[in-house]
Amino acid sequence: MKTSEELPLHQRLGAEFRRRIESGEWPEGEPVPSESQLCAEFGTSRGPVRQALAMLRSEGGLVGGRGKPPVARRTAPSQPFATFLSFTQWAHGIGREPGQSTVEVARRRASPETAARLGLAEGAPVVELVRLRLLDGVPAMLERSAFVHEVGRVLFDFDPDSGSVYAELLRRGVDLHHARHTIDAVAAEPQDAELLRIPTGAPLLRVRRLTTSSSGVPLEDADDRYLPAMATFTIENTIEGRTVVGRYRTEED
């Protein structure tokens, strides 16, 4: 796996810009330096700077544009990776037997959306994983992940039907450190419906996940779709501002 110094320039710039926003060095609500200023500061052309800024905009760290200078916005603090347990760990924690059926593991060119979220050039290679996740043999969730190639290639030497992908990546030394989750509701698409055994258009709970390294480099862009009857999500806030995200089985389980 590449070190931070070996990463493409736009990814290193993106990590530095993200650090400046999260530390307050670039104050929230204030315009960030112009592209020309950033090019001069880092001694580079506009291309890598624009890619880095686009990466932050896709994450919600920058807002504005269309003729106006982009403005810094501090996003919700990223949760430690272990705070939001893997499906396998979660299932064991509630006394259920996790399972999985791998639909595919494939090397593909990143779509424009995936490339933006991972901070890659459009069409860069990624490794895509699609698995049906089970609880006690019953379909519960459809998992789709796109890993940067340096991370995802590990999966070609691993049987995804054998257990936790995250446990294997961590065992291999992959720096899975933070995960940012976005939860919404979507209608089941044809593949969702076929694998989860539900009608097309049925409601699903979707969790979009962006997993990053300890230095803030994106490693995984994921889209997990749960049957609502199989899981709910709870968010707890404390007065200190700490946020805890939990995934639970429903009473029907």
CB atoms within 10 A of CB 54: 18
Q: Report, as an integer, the average pLDDT of 164-177.
A: 88
Residue 39: helix, strand or coil by DSSP?
Answer: helix
Q: Report which of residues 162 and 58 the model is more confident about.
A: 162
Query: Which CATH topology does 4-72 take?
Result: Arc Repressor Mutant, subunit A (1.10.10)
Residue 49: helix, strand or coil by DSSP?
Answer: helix
Q: Report which of residues 86 and 164 the model is more confident about.
A: 164
Q: Report, as an integer, the average pLDDT of 56-80.
A: 69
CA–CA gap between residue 185 and residue 169 (Å, rounded): 29
Query: What's the CATH class of domain 79-248?
Result: alpha beta
Q: For tokens 């709910």, what's the residue?
A: 232
For residue 249, name the pLDDT band (cuts at 50, 70, 90): low
Report the share of the chain in percent with pLDDT over 90.
48
Q: What does 115-162 look like in DSSP terms, one character per residue?
A: HHHHT--TT-EEEEEEEEEEETTEEEEEEEEEEEHHHHGGGGGS-GGG
CB atoms within 10 A of CB 249: 18
In the chain, where are the structural domains located?
4-72, 79-248
CA–CA gap between residue 109 and residue 106 (Å, rounded): 10
| Predicted local confidence at residue 79, as pLDDT | 40
How many distinct helices (H) and strands (E) make up the chain?
8, 11
| Predicted local confidence at residue 144, as pLDDT | 97
DSSP element (H, E) containing 51: helix 46-59
For residue 221, name the pLDDT band (cuts at 50, 70, 90): very high
What's at 78, amino acid-wise? S
Report the share of the chain in percent with pLDDT over 70.
82
pLDDT tens per residue across span 80-133: 444 455 788 777 766 778 899 999 999 999 999 999 999 999 899 999 999 999
Q: Report which of residues 231 and 192 the model is more confident about.
A: 192
Asked whether residue 160 carries a pLDDT value surpassing 70, the answer given is: yes
Q: What is the mean pLDDT of the chain?
A: 83
Q: What angle do CA 185, 191, 194 make, to 5 degrees?
A: 100
For residue 235, name the pLDDT band (cuts at 50, 70, 90): low
Asked whether residue 71 carries a pLDDT value surpassing 80, the answer given is: yes
For residue 166, name the pLDDT band (cuts at 50, 70, 90): confident
For residue 176, name the pLDDT band (cuts at 50, 70, 90): confident
By the 8 A CB rule, do 150 and 135 touch? no
Instruction: Kindly state the tokens that stand for 19.
Output: 């650090």
Q: Among candidates 176, 178, 155, 173, which has minimal Cα distance to 165?
A: 155
| Predicted local confidence at residue 153, as pLDDT | 95
What's at 21, amino acid-wise? I
